[in-house]
Amino acid sequence: MIPQLGQFALILALLMALVQGILPLLGAQWGRRTWMDTAHTAVAGQFLFLLTAWGALTWAFISHDFSLEYVARQSNTALPLLYRISAVWGGHEGSLLLWTLMLAGWSLAVSRFSGGLPPVLTARTLGVLGLVSAGILSFTLFTSSPFTTLFPVPANGRDLNPLLQDPGLAIHPPMLYMGYVGLAVPYAIAMAALIGGRLDAAWARWTRPWATTAWAFLGAGIALGSWWAYYTLGWGGWWFWDPVENASLMPWLVATALIHSLAVTEKRGAFRSWTVLLAILAFALSLLGTFLVRSGVLVSVHAFATDPARGVYILALLLLVTGLSFALYAWRAPQVHGHAAYHAISREGALLANNVLLVVAMAAVLLGTLYPLFMDALGLGKLSVGPPYFDRVFAPLMLPLILLTGMAPLLRWKRSPPGELTRRTWHTLLAALAGGVVLPLAAMGSTTLMVSLGVGLGLWILLTAARDLYTRLARAGGPREALRRLPAGYWGMTLSHLGFALLVMGITLLSTFEQERDVRMAVGDRADLAGYTFQLRDIRPVEGPNWDATEAHVRVLRDGAPVADLYPQRRVYRVQRRPMAEAAFHTRLTRDLFVALGEPMAGDTWALRLHHNPFQVWLWIGTTLIVAGGLVAAADRRYRVFARRTANAQHRGEVS
Amino acid sequence: MRRLLFLLPMTLLLLLGLFLLVGLGLNPRLIPSPLVDRPAPAFTLPALEDPERRVGHTDLQGRVALVNVWASWCTSCRREHRVLSDLARRHDLPLYGINYKDERADALAYLGRFGNPYRWNGHDREGRAGIDWGVYGTPETFVLDADGRIRYKHAGPLTPERVQREILPLVARLRQEDP
């Protein structure tokens, strides 16, 4: 009964999305206020129905309703409650439902917080969101409904993929989807503005908090995925340039360009048509990511649910959405004239360079990801593009970007006298580069040119941000006063830039100085790595709710003194019989010790993988700061003040 | 001219769409083996059925034959087992097995339960021979000609369609080449 309710709710949600996608757009065109206002009702209705469908599916998982094909495929009676709830988005059908639910949630937020916008723009924005939602919902209903029933009803389910039975992975997809789907909002606002032909500062200011929030969620999703790969896949790596990772990185790079370019459009009125293009591109790449993950055109460790027949539908949707958007862009954007003049050495100039670098980096990732497909499609043979390509292309693009990150906040809008900048910053740069030589030498005992550059440029961001903050604090008259007076946008930017600095330094040191060893050990054996001694003390069986594991007890010693006791496991999940490594690690600010238990070998010995990862935790601290900075910036008061002020102005206008 | 510039994103998108459409029809998992048309890699392994006996690449020459890489822990192997057995029996094809990264007891229990269509099985416990044969994962099936050269490789479980469409015509051709 409840699953049928879910299916019914899904159909109603699609109808609501169609109403939301058609009436307001027509109303805005013909000037009918009542038609435009249906958008708000339709959004609320759509969200409510999707929430119902969501609840129904979750209930089916919790109550082990194996009459649903999707539940039978993804769950099992022995699956713990937490994973029964997260299993809802563990497969293709459920993740689409999550996608649409989040889109409806974002749309609802737009509808609730749109008080300050001209009604026509709101109606068009919600209309575009409705059309996108209708596209994804019809895809869900017609090709991949999670409510398809199964007869005869199996006695038990086939269980959730063991890789997904992990707390990190329970929250990674929702975060990532929040980001992917959130990018639909800046996209929809851009489309609405293009339809109306008005791309002004108000449009940019209205878009900024949405773009920044979506960007923060996307970053959090990527970081969680990386963290999960680090401790579950048992390889000790955290980024593999896998097609699916790239699919999430590309929209993030473009969204990063977008939030910077939006700042210029809002403050100076420049880059308008470029900003619109970025907004469209970011969402198009989100859709492309969905396509790559769901269609199976590329081989990936992530290919959890792939089906070429569905691929055709998503491809059609992708081409329709982006094709129409780019056509509208080609038609409308040439009429938009940016008339803000600026000098090459100015904040605009630096942000333009930042945008170019980020988009080129995205293009490099796109090329590397799709290159095997291009070659195959042209009949030029099968090949794969590995990490060496990405490392070689990505690092040189990042170095100038890091330099700019430190520099841009110091530059003035419009024009900065070149002499002034060098006079004010040469000693900072010199100190940073000297630090880049000294720090790795002190911490790791050696350095290379790339390491010194990476660490030095990271320090450069830290030092310039600290100096800038210091000057502003002095000007504001004390830290407490500054906390009140400096805008949240400034704090957010500074936090994110500091996070970026830590991330850069962490990645540089980690990728150069990480050490690993694959060893074969019997109980009592010792192995040395990076000054630590790993001793295998015990191997014993452990039983979990739906898995059996072998657990090793590894004691880590340094100079004979115990440092940590690690308990890596090798689990075999009872239903799918797939072995899974559950690595154990010990984290300090300057290093991670990581042990993964491998396969049993002859003569009661075991394969173990030992890692010494310097500064690994800096990656997680850095990404956390980047995300936190985005959320702080998005909460800036002036966006709300702006909304209230325009709302009041409108109100007055209507009264008089 | 300026207008053309604004059409650029659209043009790139259409181009990309074309590639993606073609890509949907391709199978990225189809990997041609560099070993095709080369002599089978040399190996000697203890026989699964009798650890004292050694089997190896020299046994593979003289007739068109199949080599199948399998393991008892591999569920897809179970699925292709019947297809493989039928193929060997009906078409009088010698079938040799490489038992990959497996425990002897488990492998023998598997053969006891599902039947043993193999002439012999090499017990590749550490997966060394598997590396030389370029094994990505089990199951994998190789077709060898009478000179002991690899002529075809299939990764993944064999299906009756695949046998009809690719393996049987190839075997017929190879037998003509060298009667």
Least confident interval from A28-32, A174-178, A598-602: A598-602
Cβ contact A497:A409 at 8 Å: yes
Q: Is the bond leading into B34 cis (omega within 30 degrees of zero)?
A: no
Q: From the CA of A615, how many Å to the nearest CA of chain B? A: 34
B32 contact residues in A (CB cutoff 8 A) = 382
Closest chain B residue by Cα to residue A373:
B23
Confidence bin at A141 (pLDDT 50/70/90): very high
Maximum Cα interatomic distance, chain A, rounded to a whole number of Å: 91
pLDDT-based confidence at residue A356 (cuts at 50, 70, 90): very high
What is the rounded CA–CA span in Å between residue A200 and residue A189? Answer: 12
Query: C-alpha angle B76/B77/B82, rounded to 5°?
Result: 110
Q: Work out the minimum CA distance from A482 to partner chain B, whole angstroms.
A: 44
The whole-number average pLDDT for the span A437-459 is 91
Tell me if B16 and A377 make a contact (CB, 8 A cut-off): no
Distance CA(B81)–CA(A481), nearest Å, equals 77
> Is the pLDDT higher at A358 or at A388?
A358
Give how far B26 is from chain A: nearest CA, Å. 7
Which residue carries 């000294």 as its tokens?
A: A438
| Distance of alpha carbon A540 from alpha carbon A552, whole angstroms | 6
**Are B24 and A322 a contacting pair at CB < 8 A?**
no
B165 DSSP assignment: I
Residues of chain A in contact with residue B31, where contact means CB-CB under 8 angstroms, are 382
Beta-carbon separation of A382 and B32 below 8 A: yes
CA distance A50 to A10: 6
Contact B23 A273 (CB under 8 A): no
What is the arithmetic mean of pLDDT over A352-375?
Answer: 90
Tell me: pLDDT of A301 over 70: no
Task: Kindly provide the residue ranges of all beta strands, DSSP E only, lying in A23-80, ordered along the sequence.
Answer: none
CB A340 within 8 A of CB A270: yes
Q: What share of chain B is helix, strand, coil (3-state, %, to 5)?
A: 45, 20, 35
Between the two ends of chain A, the Cα-to-Cα distance in Å is 55
pLDDT of A236 = 65
As given in the structure block, the two tokens for residue A83 are 């994973």
Q: A319 and B17: CB-CB below 8 Å?
A: yes
Does the pLDDT at position A238 exceed 80?
yes
Q: In what order do the strands lie in the sheet with A591-601?
A: A515-521, A605-614, A591-601, A584-588
Tell me, what's the pLDDT at A299? Answer: 52
What are the phi and psi torsion angles at A165 (to 5°)?
-90, 80
Cβ-Cβ contacts under 8 Å, B24 against chain A:
295, 297, 308, 311-312, 315
Q: Which of residues 595-654 of A touch B (CB under 8 A)?
A: 599, 601-602
The structural architecture, per CATH, of the domain A1-160 is: Up-down Bundle (1.20)
Taking the CA of residue A455 and the nearest CA in chain B, the distance in Å comes to 37
Asked if this assembly's ipTM is beyond 0.90, the reply is: no
Among partner residues A298, A318, A326, which is closest to B9 by beta-carbon distance? A326
In percent, how much of chain A has pLDDT > 70?
Answer: 93
For A280, the enclosing helix (H) or strand (E) is helix A272-295
- Residue A306 contacts residue A295 (beta carbons within 8 Å): yes
CA A234 – CA A221 distance, rounded (Å): 20
Contact A322 B13 (CB under 8 A): yes
For chain A positions 572-591, those within 8 Å of chain B (CB to CB) are 577
Amino acid in the structure at residue B104: R
Nearest residue of A to residue B22, measured between CA atoms = A377
What secondary structure letter does DSSP report for A300?
Answer: -
pLDDT digit string, tens, across residues A169-193: 788 889 999 999 999 999 999 999 9
Provide the 3-class DSSP secondary structure of residue A144.
coil
Average pLDDT of chain A to the nearest whole number: 87
- Summarised one tens digit per residue, pLDDT across range A453-496 is 999 999 999 999 998 888 888 887 777 777 778 889 999 999 99
pLDDT, tens digit, for every residue of A45-75? 999 999 999 999 999 999 999 999 899 988 9
Identify from A280, A322, A384, A572 which residue to disrupt to test chain B contact, counting B C-beta atoms within 10 A and taking the largest count. A322
β-strand partners of A607: A520
Whether residue A305 has pLDDT greater than 60: no
Percent with pLDDT over 90 in chain A? 53
Pick from A115-129, A307-321, A480-494 the range whose average pLDDT is largest: A115-129
A449 Cβ contact list (under 8 Å, min separation 6): none
Whether the per-residue pLDDT at A128 is higher than 90: the answer is yes
Instruction: Count CB-CB contacts under 10 A for residue A491.
Output: 19
Domain range list for chain A: 1-160, 515-617
Which range among A326-330, A497-501, B79-83 shows the weakest confidence by mean pLDDT? B79-83
What distance in Å separates the CA atoms of residue A83 and residue A422, rounded to the nearest whole number?
56
Does the structure show a pLDDT above 60 at B117? Answer: yes
CB atoms within 10 A of CB B1: 4
Q: Terminus-to-terminus CA distance in chain B, angstroms?
A: 69
Residue A18 binned pLDDT confidence (cut-offs 50, 70, 90): very high
- Chain A partners of B16 at a C-beta cutoff of 8 Å? 370
Residue B58 has which token pair? 């020299």
Give the whole-angstrom CA distance, residue A314 versus residue A95.
14
Residue A173 CA to residue A550 CA, distance in Å, equals: 29
Contacts of A624 (CB under 8 A, 6+ apart): A223, A499
Range in A302-311, A329-338, A466-475, B59-68 the model is least confident about: A302-311
A333·B6 Cβ contact <8 A: yes
Give contacts of B22 with chain A, Cβ < 8 Å.
377
Q: Return the amino acid letter for A54.
A: W
Nearest Cα residue in chain B from A299: B28
Name the residue type at position A460. Answer: W
Arithmetic mean of pLDDT, A122-143: 94
Using only C-alpha atoms, chain A has a radius of gyration, in whole angstroms, of 27
Fold of the domain spanning B36-177:
Glutaredoxin (3.40.30)
* Mean pLDDT, residues A299-321: 67
Where exactly are the structural domains of chain B? 36-177
Closest CA to A402 of A502, A469, A495, A491: A502
- pLDDT confidence bin for A304, thresholds 50/70/90: very low
- Cα separation, A100 vs A9, in Å, equals 13
pLDDT of residue B25: 66
* A434 vs A335 pLDDT, higher one: A434
Please tell me the distance in Å from B47's CA to the nearest CA on chain A: 18
- Closest C-alpha to A256, from A618, A638, A630: A630
Is pLDDT above 90 for A254? yes
For residues A348-357, give the mean pLDDT. 93
Confidence of residue A385 (pLDDT cuts 50, 70, 90): confident
Q: pLDDT category, B59, cuts 50, 70, 90?
A: confident
Predicted confidence (pLDDT) per residue in A67-118, tens digit: 998 999 889 898 999 999 999 988 888 989 999 999 999 999 999 988 778 8
Task: Measure the CA–CA gap between A504 and A458, rounded to whole angstroms.
Answer: 6
**CA–CA separation, B147 vs A570, rounded Å?**
44
pLDDT digits (tens, 9 = 90+) for B5-52: 888 888 888 888 888 877 776 655 555 566 777 888 888 899 988 888
Structure tokens at A423: 């006079």
pLDDT of A341 over the 70 cut: yes
Please check the confidence at residue B179 and state whether its pLDDT lies above 70. Answer: no
> CB contact, 8 Å: A297 with chain B?
yes
Residue among A194, A290, A297 with most chain B CBs within 10 A, to mutate: A297
d(CA A33, CA A37): 6
Give the chain A residue whose CA is nearest to the CA of B6: A330
pLDDT in tens, A262-281: 999 988 888 888 999 999 99
